[in-house]
Structure 1
Amino acid sequence: MKQNMRKRTPLAVLLALCLAMQLCVPAAMASNRLMRAGDAAIAQIEEEEGFRAEKYSSGGKWYIGYGTECGAEDYPEGITREEAELLLMSKVEAYEAKLNDFFGRYDVTPTQGQFDALICFSYNFGTGWMSGTSDLVKIARGEKDATRLEVAHAFGEWCHSGGQAQAGLADRRLQEAAIYLDDGTRAAENEFAYLIINMESGTSYETDFAVYEIGKTYGSFPKAEKLGYGFAGFRTSDGKTITENSIVNGNAVVTAQWTATSYTGKTYTDVNKSDWFYNYVMELSEQGIVGGNGDGTFAPNRPTSTGEMLKLVLLSTGHKEQKPSTAHWASGYATYAYSMGFAAQNYSDYQLDNGISRLDVARFAAKALGYGASNTTSPFADVNDGYVTALYEAGVFIGTKVGDLTYFYPNSSITRAEVATIVYRIYQLSSLDQKQKIYYKDYTLDVLEGVPTNTYNQSAFVKNGSIMTYNDPSVRTRVGIDVSQYQGDVDWNAVARTDVDFVIARVGGRGYTVGAIYDDTKFDEYADGAARAGLQVGAYFFSQAVSVAEAQEEAYHVLDKLRGHEITGPVVFDWEVIGKSEARTYGIETGVLCAAANAFCKIIKDAGYDPMIYITDYAGYVKYDLSEVMDYPLWYARYDVDAPSFYYDFAMWQYSSKGSVDGIKGNVDMDIWFIK
């Protein structure tokens, strides 16, 4: 490798560029801990990517050289290896800056091997891994004291494409793990081996990927379950069977082997092998989750009572048996389900003997599983409920196809045979610890653990003209508007005579290209006028911060502008995605955004105000890691729906940008605030 191709931009030039562009200096750079990718990292990337002189398309983007992204019209005559290496180095420098900033925020000083490994990984995967709660993030932050095998697995699990683990990516991830551990790739060949499971339809898997130590027994495999069959080990592509007692001697791509289940427990006179529900009933009977009647029957066609459903769902999701709290045998399950928030009411003894609708079953089962309401469009023609959709996405409810439409029949009762199929699928999800996914546009996202979910009753939202109401006696609401100088002159007394209770006025903002702070010319007038008219007043700042320092600057600017005004409503960090490549916030890393939001809100809170964070679907799902900003309520914006389907909880919904309110000429943003 020619050394003159490895020249880097001097640090002083980098700093000057940062200042000229008003970009933040990474924490690691500021504390003189700036690290660079070593020669081993560059060589590893070149080996992994391979050289291609002509550009090529993949995933809707164009690449050339060593996998460097380029434009569709770039390099019409191709590229030399020297030119390709220069492109590679320019891309690596961008990852160096992000990785230095990442380590600087968590006050971690990595070894050269750790830094190189994560440069290689980021070059292939991007920087999205830096946010979230994966084991790799925890290890890199220094939050988890991991074994060598755990480090290998933390890298290895990022080997999926198209929903299936891929051998080529797994090879690459283990080499990166070896570099992280030892500054070289030897352990990827001599110490670690991966197991990839070819997933088959009709089978449930805990995972399709695991890492083991060469020379030791497998010990345990990822769980796999198939209705009516027992697991009998894995078979490799060359026909060898491996069991948990087999010695690991290298990487393996395998397929599960099965033997038909011979049920040895209780049998029922009205459940036969030819029945479509036979395996469901017998599997649950073997587990002790379902039982029959005293006369030896199961009564598969009898409607399921509410009490039976509560017990079956709770037991199948891992909850313990409950002793009766009244004379009714199922009363303990009813009390427990209500106390846990799974059931909307504490059913009376009389209600426990009555039937239960399919809709109530779905809502109860989803909550018992720990699932929230899905944010995607309902697949059913006769119900639009997020909990039903969540269980459809998990494979619990399938529905009935009639022509081109699928029906759920939400108000119908459910037979004991149908319950057996549903409860078995729930039992599988619970036993395999299958986590709920969020589907947003082209993103498939893991649900963030510990982040409160949206529990609003979708049918309780009613809009009359520009005013949205929420008909739930357990939640108080207030109607409001948010305004900026574009609203012009406002008659606040006229506004106060409407159903509007509060106003959030823009203090100012930051430009998205140059990054200068500006004031809203109407803020003082709006804040004082609204307060005099008896409206509650809050404030927001349109942020384009790219660092903690800039967010702090914005917060102190807001505090200076709030002085002398009666502000009792929320003070909002309104960071928004511009979506243009010339925007200075374009491509901002999630960790930076979360740190900036927290910094802004802490200053606001310490000053005695109530901070809030503004989000859209894209910002909430993709840009923020909401588990990192849980100390502050969210103001959610979406206009094209009758009810908000955002997965996570929020305190305020901006439901329209085209509201009409007396006292204001033209359109105005409308909001509903939930006082819980």
Structure 2
Amino acid sequence: MKRIPPKKTPSKKSARPNRKKGKTIPYSKMVFFGLGLLLVLFLLGTLYHYRNGLLYYFGFSNGTSTTELSPEERKIQDIRIFEVLSRHDTKLVGFDVSEYQGKIEWDKINKIEDEFPLSFVFIRATAGNDRPDSRFEENWKKAKEHFFIRGAYHYYRPNENSIEQAEHFIKTVDLRKGDLPPVLDIEKLPKNQSIDSLKVGLRRWLKRVEKHYKVKPIIYSGESYYTDFLKDEFEDYPFWIANYNFFVDSMKKDWLFWQFTEKAQIYGIKGLVDVNVFNGNKEDLKALTLKK
């Protein structure tokens, strides 16, 4: 007799409920979200940091532009300029010019951003051992006539004789009582000499000019150049530092002057202008000037 195999009964499913596994956020999305959050916080912080400049621009600025900058670039520069100057409202503001600004209407120069008075001006006198600025004499005379405290600067060429450059400046510039000390503008690195040789030449220029005018000159340079090559060996000289970084809005204690922008607008001057903050008040600036 053939035996019939027993039917297989289906296995019972576990009585425990089938819990779905929780979904996990991919790591890449977490990173993206974190970066997005940081960007938002950064933008909010920037807006708050430059709130004075933003309020000024959107509330009071006439929004004029120049051929050198687009309207968007002009807006950014105006915001930063206003912000920096408002943070230094107890200090004096000035500008510097050369032949590149063309003919200047000195009688129209008064304030920057319609609010901050301009008190002093640096004027380029010479470059190298043979190059006088073509508008120095005119600018030098007009600055005095319009009651600006004036200073003259020399653009130093590293590959030319330093004493010849000093004599060229001395021959060109007649400093008077009330003028600022002479300025040595050094921005370039030498092509055919060492840094040590450059420093010797700079020292020779400074000593010769100081002997003639009986006052210690000021050294102008960019902050990185100053930090890398000048700060230690020329610490006995006052410094005028250029730094245009958008996120630098306060001058350092060891800076006598700070050139914080090269893209300002000043009524009476065509094109873009360098603007400077003096690390002191009116009495401090007068004390810096020549006494005889």
How would you bin the TM-score normalised by the shorter chain?
0.5 to 0.7
Kindly indicate whether residue 135 of structure 2 is the aligned counterpart of residue 522 of structure 1: yes
Root-mean-square deviation (CA, aligned residues, Å) is: 3.3
Which of 477, 483, 486 lines up with 2:91 in the alignment?
477
TM-score, normalization by structure 2: 0.61
Shift of 1:574: 0.7
Q: How does 1:91-130 map to 2 (within 5 A)?
A: none
SS at match of 1:557: helix
User: Cα deviations across residues 36-85 of structure 1 (Å, max 9, x unaligned)?
Assistant: xxxxxxxxxxxxxxxxxxxxxxxxxxxxxxxxxxxxxxxxxxxxxxxxxx
Unaligned 5+ runs, structure 1: 1-401, 407-458, 511-515, 579-584
Unaligned 5+ runs, structure 2: 1-32, 39-48, 57-77, 285-292
User: Cα deviations across residues 322-380 of structure 1 (Å, max 9, x unaligned)?
Assistant: xxxxxxxxxxxxxxxxxxxxxxxxxxxxxxxxxxxxxxxxxxxxxxxxxxxxxxxxxxx
The aligned counterpart of 2:125 is 507
Specify whether residues 562 and 656 from structure 1 end up closer, same or farther in structure 2 by C-alpha distance, changes over 3 A only.
same
- 1:481–1:504 Cα contact (<8 Å) kept: yes
Q: How does 1:169-188 map to 2 (within 5 A)?
A: none
Specify whether residues 501 and 664 from structure 1 end up closer, same or farther in structure 2 by C-alpha distance, changes over 3 A only.
same
Shift of 1:564: 6.5
User: Cα deviations across residues 275-309 of structure 1 (Å, max 9, x unaligned)?
Assistant: xxxxxxxxxxxxxxxxxxxxxxxxxxxxxxxxxxx
Instruction: Quote the Cα distance in structure 1 between the aligned partners of 2:175 and 2:218.
Output: 21
Tell me which of the two structures has the higher relative contact order, counting C-alpha pairs closer than 8 angstroms and 6 or more residues apart. 2
TM-score, normalization by structure 1: 0.28
Instruction: Quote the Cα distance in structure 1 between the aligned partners of 2:182 and 2:136.
Output: 13
Shift of 1:539: 1.1
Give aligned pairs, total: 209
Specify whether residues 497 and 615 from structure 1 end up closer, same or farther in structure 2 by C-alpha distance, changes over 3 A only.
closer
Instruction: Quote the Cα distance in structure 2 between the aligned partners of 1:485 and 1:553.
Output: 22
User: Cα deviations across residues 509-559 of structure 1 (Å, max 9, x unaligned)?
Assistant: 02xxxxx52010100100110111010100111111347xx2232222212
The aligned counterpart of 1:486 is 100
Q: Give the number of the structure whose alpha-carbon radius of gyration is greater.
A: 2
Instruction: Quote the Cα distance in structure 2 between the aligned partners of 1:654 and 1:588.
Output: 28
- 1:546–1:596 Cα contact (<8 Å) kept: no
The aligned counterpart of 1:569 is 180
The aligned counterpart of 1:620 is 226
Specify whether residues 620 and 590 from structure 1 end up closer, same or farther in structure 2 by C-alpha distance, changes over 3 A only.
same
- 1:590–1:625 Cα contact (<8 Å) kept: no
Which of 508, 522, 532 lines up with 2:145 in the alignment?
532
Specify whether residues 560 and 490 from structure 1 end up closer, same or farther in structure 2 by C-alpha distance, changes over 3 A only.
same
- 1:572–1:613 Cα contact (<8 Å) kept: yes
The aligned counterpart of 1:558 is 169
Instruction: Quote the Cα distance in structure 1 between the aligned partners of 2:167 and 2:279.
Output: 28
Instruction: Quote the Cα distance in structure 2 between the aligned partners of 1:567 and 1:558.
Output: 19
SS at match of 2:197: helix
Specify whether residues 646 and 673 from structure 1 end up closer, same or farther in structure 2 by C-alpha distance, changes over 3 A only.
closer
User: Cα deviations across residues 475-514 of structure 1 (Å, max 9, x unaligned)?
Assistant: x52111111111111111211465211110000202xxxx
The aligned counterpart of 1:661 is 266
AA of the residue aligned to 1:543: Y
Specify whether residues 599 and 496 from structure 1 end up closer, same or farther in structure 2 by C-alpha distance, changes over 3 A only.
farther
Instruction: Quote the Cα distance in structure 1 between the aligned partners of 2:206 and 2:270.
Output: 32
Specify whether residues 626 and 658 from structure 1 end up closer, same or farther in structure 2 by C-alpha distance, changes over 3 A only.
same
Shift of 1:674: 0.7
Kindly indicate whether residue 279 of structure 2 is the aligned counterpart of residue 674 of structure 1: yes
Specify whether residues 646 and 587 from structure 1 end up closer, same or farther in structure 2 by C-alpha distance, changes over 3 A only.
farther
AA of the residue aligned to 1:637: A
User: Cα deviations across residues 361-415 of structure 1 (Å, max 9, x unaligned)?
Assistant: xxxxxxxxxxxxxxxxxxxxxxxxxxxxxxxxxxxxxxxxx94588xxxxxxxxx
Identity of aligned residues (%): 25
Specify whether residues 520 and 570 from structure 1 end up closer, same or farther in structure 2 by C-alpha distance, changes over 3 A only.
same
- 2:185–2:220 Cα contact (<8 Å) kept: yes
Instruction: Quote the Cα distance in structure 2 between the aligned partners of 1:574 and 1:602.
Output: 15
Instruction: Quote the Cα distance in structure 2 between the aligned partners of 1:480 and 1:630.
Output: 24
SS at match of 1:544: coil
Specify whether residues 477 and 645 from structure 1 end up closer, same or farther in structure 2 by C-alpha distance, changes over 3 A only.
closer
- 1:477–1:672 Cα contact (<8 Å) kept: yes
Specify whether residues 665 and 530 from structure 1 end up closer, same or farther in structure 2 by C-alpha distance, changes over 3 A only.
same
AA of the residue aligned to 1:519: P
- 1:482–1:669 Cα contact (<8 Å) kept: yes
The aligned counterpart of 2:154 is 541
Kindly indicate whether residue 191 of structure 2 is the aligned counterpart of residue 586 of structure 1: yes
Specify whether residues 488 and 566 from structure 1 end up closer, same or farther in structure 2 by C-alpha distance, changes over 3 A only.
farther
The aligned counterpart of 1:355 is none
Q: Which consecutive segments of 4 or more residues in structure 1 shift more than 3 A?
A: 402-406, 462-468, 470-473, 564-567, 644-648
